[in-house]
Amino acid sequence: MKRRNFLRNLGLASVPFTIGGIPMKVMARDHFTRLATMSTNDRVLVILQMHGGNDGLNTIIPIEQYDQYYSRRANIAIPKANSVRRLIELDSTLPSADQVGLHPDMTGVKELYDRGRVSIVQGVSYKNNNGSHFRGRDIWFMGGGFEDYYSSGWIGRYLQQEFAPLTYPDDFPNSEMLDPLAIELGSDVSLIFHQQGNIPTSISIGNNPERFANLIEQLEGFDDQGIDPRGKPPVALDQSPYGKEMNWILGLEDKSEDYAARLLEVYNRASESSVTYPETYPFNAPGGSLRNRLTPQLQLIARLLDGGGDGVGTKVFLIRIGGFDTHADQVESYDPTMGAHSALLYHISSAMKAFQDDLKARGLEDRVLTLTTSEFGRRVASNGSFGTDHGTGAPVLLFGRGVNPGVIGTNPDMTRNNVAMQYDYRQIYSNILLNWMQVDRDVVINDIFFGNFIDGPNEDGGNYEPVPVALTEVVSVEDFVTNRFHLGDCYPNPAKSKTTIPFRINTNTEVALDLLDISGRKLKSIKSGLMTAGDHTVEADLSGVPSGTYLYSIKAGLLNETKKLIVRN
């Protein structure tokens, strides 16, 4: 095999490089840069891979089927009540059959959900899921079915088909676009970014920005002194087969240097985050990682996108967190709410909360959508080792202002061995491409899913339609929030000796319901203390309150509202 073909098949040009201690891979085909400069939007997709197969049933817990849930996995089940650490009821407005709870270490996800920044899709898988790590990962990355063996990935195909490829490495980078279109954090080369006939290349430099910059300065040059230090022949041999191959290989090294210098420049130009990111898991996690490995990855993405007001034009980022293959010791034997899996869920939940806050502080919140993936879920029943074995379906979570907030789908049948598929994962991908990335429908159907999806038949004889997880335009989520947190009109009003005040809260929280004078000065407390999620009515005692116009005000988590009350004695 020719050296050039060998390197292309291998997918490496030099070795991985790092910024801020984070290994990075970049896609470096010139038509990608052309896409970024010509794109009609500045939207970004972050793909969060939960490596190993996440246990969806301890992540998104069925409430109405809780007794069955507990009976099938009593040694690892998250408590529903009578425990300091118990499941977090997600949304009191959902139908009874769809009621779910979050793992107690997912308070960050709960807060984001209440703010309209989370979409959850139940029972995501693909037909004939065989529970294989490697095959499952390839299927999710290639965007195909269980019988397909594509050499390209769904993101790579989208980018390749959107714009015809230019010559690489000859025309790349250029003055119009200095940034890679996609960046992969970590040391792997993932199928998701591969294109038909081409694959991404990678470069390497150092462990942090300082070492990174110093190493660039130390790289050998192309000075023609008869024989180049890196093996390049004299100019007279440029057109020989050997010379052409070496020019191609060494050209990749130059591209790597250009990318490295550019990314470091943007990184250094941006300010450090004003948001505090989580560093460690606050409890015990034997067999798991106490350090939050998502934090540095998300901090880096936010900083590169910021760039001091002129960040990278990169369209897609892939980040990873591993450890989800929890056959044994998923939980601690003495407390199912703690352990390796709990730490992983805390890392994701807390880091994503900080990331969203960071994006908002930098003015980037409207641009970024994050999607979680995992190769499969776990079995409904636990095993005797305080763990779970390979399964099929599991929930998918999306984060950002661009999501259609809420829960899509219903709880799984807990009498089965596996979580059944309610949605094919490509129904989520296709919606993201159509709505968020704003790709033409024909491109999605014909060039990304090869004509056998969206308008193609499913096993029930119908068509797989996109699941509405992402929005075409970022809009206000005020209706979503007010449907879950609102202060009602008191009755009677005008009132004499008493009135009833209704309100709804969507989370267990401290409530302060007060009577105020017309200038906003507190006159008396009507109700205070911790209250559970749901609809409430409180009777306000107005005896001794002179006739006049007053205000009643509530502060309860996201709810901060005031209304008028007239007293007539």
Domain CATH for 523? 2.60.40.2550
Confidence check: pLDDT of 230 > 60? no
Taking residues 53-60, report their average pLDDT.
98
Structure tokens at 441: 């429908």
CA distance 196 to 177: 23
Taking residues 37-62, report their average pLDDT.
90
Taking residues 422-428, report their average pLDDT.
96
Residue 438's domain comprises 3-478
Q: Residue 159's pLDDT is what?
A: 75
Q: Residue 4's pLDDT is what?
A: 42
Q: Residue 34's pLDDT is what?
A: 44
Query: Which neighbouring-strand residues pair with 49?
Result: 320, 373
| Domain final residue, candidates 455, 478, 501 | 478
Examine the domain organization and report whether 493 and 347 are in the same domain: no
CA distance 499 to 491: 5
Q: Residue 7's pLDDT is what?
A: 41
Examine the domain organization and report whether 460 and 559 are in the same domain: no
Local confidence band at 205 (pLDDT 50, 70, 90 cut-offs) = very low
Contacts of 75 (CB under 8 A, 6+ apart): 331, 333, 336, 382, 384, 386
Examine the domain organization and report whether 79 and 178 are in the same domain: yes
Examine the domain organization and report whether 519 and 379 are in the same domain: no
Q: Residue 444's pLDDT is what?
A: 92
CA distance 325 to 265: 38
Closest-CA residue to 288 (of 368, 376, 347): 347
Examine the domain organization and report whether 404 and 520 are in the same domain: no
Examine the domain organization and report whether 176 and 31 are in the same domain: yes
Helix 340-361 × helix 294-306 angle, to 10°: 10
Taking residues 507-530, report their average pLDDT.
97
Confidence check: pLDDT of 310 > 50? yes
Higher-confidence residue of 452 and 308: namely 308
Structure tokens at 224: 């023609």
Examine the domain organization and report whether 297 and 408 are in the same domain: yes
Confidence check: pLDDT of 160 > 80? no
Examine the domain organization and report whether 143 and 182 are in the same domain: yes
Examine the domain organization and report whether 540 and 439 are in the same domain: no
| Domain final residue, candidates 445, 462, 478 | 478
Q: Residue 11's pLDDT is what?
A: 39
Examine the domain organization and report whether 178 and 310 are in the same domain: yes
Q: Residue 156's pLDDT is what?
A: 86
Examine the domain organization and report whether 354 and 500 are in the same domain: no
Closest-CA residue to 423 (of 442, 441, 398): 398
Local confidence band at 96 (pLDDT 50, 70, 90 cut-offs) = very high
Taking residues 541-555, report their average pLDDT.
96
Total domain count, the chain: 2
Min mean pLDDT across 246-260, 406-420, 424-438 is at 246-260
Examine the domain organization and report whether 464 and 490 are in the same domain: no
Q: What is the mean pLDDT of the chain?
A: 84
The CB-side HSE value for 217 (13 A sphere, CA atoms) comes to 7
Contact 204, 252 (CB under 8 A): no
Contacts of 139 (CB under 8 A, 6+ apart): 126, 145, 146, 148, 375
CA distance 8 to 356: 37
Question: 232 exposed, middle or buried (CB, 10 Å; 0-12, 13-18, 19+)?
Answer: buried
Confidence check: pLDDT of 305 > 90? yes
> To 5 degrees, how large is the angle CA 13–CA 16–CA 17?
115
| Domain final residue, candidates 437, 452, 478 | 478
Higher-confidence residue of 2 and 269: namely 269
Percentage of the chain surpassing pLDDT 70?
A: 78
Confidence check: pLDDT of 23 > 80? no
CA distance 564 to 517: 10
Q: Residue 40's pLDDT is what?
A: 64
